[in-house]
Amino acid sequence: MIRSSWCRWRSLGLVALAVALSGCLSSGGSSSKAGKGHDFLDNDPDLIVAFGDSITYGILWTDGLPYPAMVEANTGKRTLNRGVSGDTSGDGLARLNSVLREKPGYLLILFGANDAIHGRSPDQAKENVRTMIQRAKAQGTIPLVGSTMPIVGKRIIFNSASLRMADAMREVAREEGGILVDLRREFEGNEDRLLVDGLHANHDGNRVIAAAFSERI
């Protein structure tokens, strides 16, 4: 995973394309809107921050937009991409305060793939994400937690670890009252939604991720 800065897509043509292609894809969960009746305190209910690793950041050779740009197109809410390639959940936790200082109404949390690849404990990843959920809720931001996706192809050796990470994300979302977006269920058996590296979403996969988050916002 390559570390580099991400430039937000602002072309109206690209946003229109994302809207057209996102479609009615299921998140595999309840479709109730997270923000209905919510007290955002001094946060901006029209601001979303997508927080994660290179799956969030996007990679240069993917055939389309990173999923946060599609979320913005789907929801009409400004969406900041705060993915950092190579980040584990621990790395994310270390930069959480700077992300929350942006006062988002919604925080899309998607970590765990690098934890799995680097042999980190699912329990530790769970506790890292628990802290993210708790801090977001404490300031009035709504946290949505994505479960890790399958890892296949040449990296399939890490798939069982990714499955344990997905279970950990499901558990912590349930325990902390965060909103689960079950991406493992969306991608399992649909490996054609991944790039040939077996890890990152392709264009169709990013559509699925974006739709799964968007329908809860």
CA 16 to chain centre: 21
The pLDDT assigned to 122 comes to 98
Q: Is residue 181 part of a domain?
A: yes
Q: Is residue 96 part of a domain?
A: yes
The pLDDT assigned to 12 comes to 36
Q: Is residue 206 part of a domain?
A: yes
Q: For residue 111, give the CATH number of its domain.
A: 3.40.50.1110
- Other Cβ atoms within 10 Å of 76 Cβ, number: 12
Q: Is residue 2 part of a domain?
A: no
Structural domains counted in the chain: 1
Q: Is residue 37 part of a domain?
A: no
Instruction: Show the domain range for 73.
Output: 46-214
Q: Is residue 177 part of a domain?
A: yes
pLDDT in tens, 44-56: 999 999 999 999 9
Q: Is residue 33 part of a domain?
A: no
The ranges of the chain with pLDDT < 50 are 1-30
DSSP letter for 26, please.
-
Q: For residues 56 and 66, give the distance between their C-alpha atoms in angstroms, rounded to a whole number.
A: 7
Q: Is residue 77 part of a domain?
A: yes
CA nearest to 174, candidates 212, 129, 208, 107: 129
Q: Are strands 78-83 and 44-52 parallel, antiparallel or unpaired?
A: parallel
